[in-house]
A and B are shown apart, each in its own frame.
Chain A
Amino acid sequence: MADLDSLKEAVISGDANTAKAVTEAAVAEGIDVQVIVSDYLIPAMDEVGRRFEANEYFVPELLIGARAMKTSMAVLKPLLADSGVKPVAKVAIGTVKGDLHDIGKNLVASMLEGGGFEIVDLGVDVSPEQFIQSVQESGVAIICMSALLTTTMGSMKDTIQALNAAGLRDKVQVMIGGAPITQQYANEIGADGYSDNASAAVSCARKLAKVA
């Protein structure tokens, strides 16, 4: 019998090999993939996030935790598609136009994936048009924008204005984050959500997706 508690433990401690092995064993035994995801992987990443916010964990532990979660998800993904399990919501994420910094963006993407969201990663230097395209073509419910620089954060406002102009603003929630970003800036440009770290971004996205 696969020890699923050790899967949870492996993600929390960032042990990708164990996470993969236990996941494969569980799948071979025919354990419901949705149970693996919602009862073990998501709570494990929640615990990683909790420890990060409590300052017990730092960026490296967050990343190795996310990596362990991803190796497990890689085993489960094909099965999830077959089982008809629905993600919490579909999220498009990108570093805004003019900016190339993506460590924070990647971290948020991993945490959201660990939180049960489906991720469309648009990469870096993402223009307002590309964000709009993701809403039109991929049907994303939430747009997440990241910027590390005071010189590039203005592009977030451009994207929101472009969404307005395209008549899409009420079809999608907008979340922003990054070093120079504040709640005040989010209010100023009319973003729906802001978080100052990757873990809080998950609770913010859940709130916007109305699942928490």
Chain B
Amino acid sequence: MPKIQLDPLGVVIELATGASINDALFAHGVEFPCGAKGRCRGCRVRVTEGAAPMSAADQKVFSDEELATGWRLACTMRATSDLRLQLAAYTAPVLADETAFTFTPRDGLGIAIDLGTTTLVAQLLDLSTGAVLAVRSGLNPQAVHGADLMSRLDKATQEGGLDELAVQIHQALAELIAGFADERHPLERVQRAVVVGNTAMHHLFARRNCDSLARYPFESSEMDLSEHRADELGWPLPPATPVFMLPDLGGYVGSDLLAGILATRLHESEHPVALLDLGTNGEVVLGDRHGIQVTSTAAGPAFEGAGIQQGMRASTGAIHACSVHGGVPSYQVIGGGAARGICGSGLVDIVATCLDLGLVEASGRMAHGVKTIPLRDEVVLDQTDIRQLQLAKGAIAGGLAVLLARRGLEPKDLGRVYLAGAFGNYVNQSAGCRIGLLTAPPEHITTAGNTALLGAKLALFEDDLAFTAIRSLVSHVSLKADMEFQDRYVEAMSF
């Protein structure tokens, strides 16, 4: 079995001979902006040891010089022999909109952290060059108290709960940072760390009282930047190293979306643009340099493949795409083997195809009185799966519709719609449009990757981390008990 070393991750993976390396890289945070179709350069890697054959796609997207220096697309690469790969996704200078971000170099190193409800990602940066030196990812250990935000907040409002959750997350991040030292990076040179996450994560990290977030009014008065010291957090850095968690925007919309605004430069846009973070807690940002509205909407776990009868995460065995040839659908499986289930992006693709083929009606009901549609191998689409998807996409599209209506805009008025997060990166955009998850014209939709982490990196170079100017543009819109949202939510549930 070929062994493949991944730099700068410091990880060696073993794959079956001839296996595609996509899945393994995806598990390590490499993103495939074009959906692993060999069309963009987002997943490019440089072969530094060993030899990898060139694919047709490689010859199309790389110059002769790049090919000669070992550049290949990960998405068309197969494991044929031992290799050492440098992942461009991690070594490239900080990028925004595919263009190098201009930053003011600083001395020393910095750490950017995306503190997610489910996953944690930390990157070590050289602040003089903007290059990412190392990356570590892990799972949020608070998940033992429940996968969703509310169960964490519930725990936090019980006696001793807040402390327990805070210590858990501080320790988990300390371990990620310690991982940088294992790679012999000089952590004594770290000057600062920036953490972003949703409002609940911020409250748990900074030990803020969660009572008013856990129940009515679902808002907190403590939304500001919080400043900590590495020694207070137990992090293996010089004791006085400042650790900043960026300010939240309102309601549950936290600094991860502030980071998203920074990463997409939404606050500088002349015309209205939208940023959608498609997750269990969906977040919608709409704005331009004159004003920004943000909201969050509970989409449920369908986009992550959960709550689906045969749902699974986007890993080997998941049906992740679907195409039609001569009126007959065929289903693509991650890893190419037998289908074991359906992931979120697969569900969107499958339902879009079924709508086109008349197998599912506009109401979401399966045609011809059936309750399941066989897909491939033992995997079937269940009627209730479509219902889950309707709830999820209705929440996102309904949330955006409310924000648009408040500004007297229509979806076509949006100059650009950025999709953030892993699902946003993977979802087939035309299928997303077909099912009504995405309502803007397809040519206006752009995948933006992990904008939370990107924004955190950009913030490492900023002096004023309170972001007063951006925050003064932002207003938070609560959709709870909003009659207009209910109407639009229900409208957006149909196809």
A residues whose Cβ falls under 8 Å from a Cβ of B:
55-61, 63, 97-103, 106, 124-125, 149-152
Contacts and interface: CB of A to CB of B under 8 A. Distances in A.
A169 to B, nearest CB: 25
B486 A103 contact: yes
Nearest to B363: A61
Contacts of A97: 215-216
Contacts of A106: 486
B481 A58 contact: no
B281 interface: no
Nearest to A123: B481
A100 B150 contact: no
A106 B364 CA distance: 22
A65 to B, nearest CB: 12
B446 to A, nearest CB: 30
Contact of B215 (A56, A61, A149): A149
B37 interface: no
A150 B216 contact: no
Contacts of A150: 146, 150-151, 154
Nearest to B371: A55
A103 B215 contact: no
Contacts of A152: 215-216
Interface stretch (B104-112, B123-131, B227-235, B382-390): B382-390
Given A58-B364, A150-B151, A151-B215, 19 more contacts: A55-B387, A57-B363, A57-B365, A58-B387, A59-B493, A60-B490, A60-B491, A60-B494, A97-B215, A98-B216, A99-B216, A100-B218, A101-B480, A102-B481, A124-B481, A150-B146, A150-B154, A151-B214, A152-B215
Nearest to B146: A150
Interface in B338-382: 363-365, 371
A76 B398 CA distance: 33
B157 A151 contact: yes
B387 A99 contact: no
A152 B154 CA distance: 9
Contacts of A99: 215-216
Q: Which interface residue of A97, A103, A106, A151 has the most chain B CB atoms within 10 A?
A: A151
Nearest to A63: B490
Contact of B383 (A55, A61, A103, A151): A55
Contacts of B383: 55
B363 A60 contact: yes
A108 to B, nearest CB: 14
B153 interface: yes
Contacts of A57: 363, 365
A124 B486 CA distance: 14
B489 interface: yes
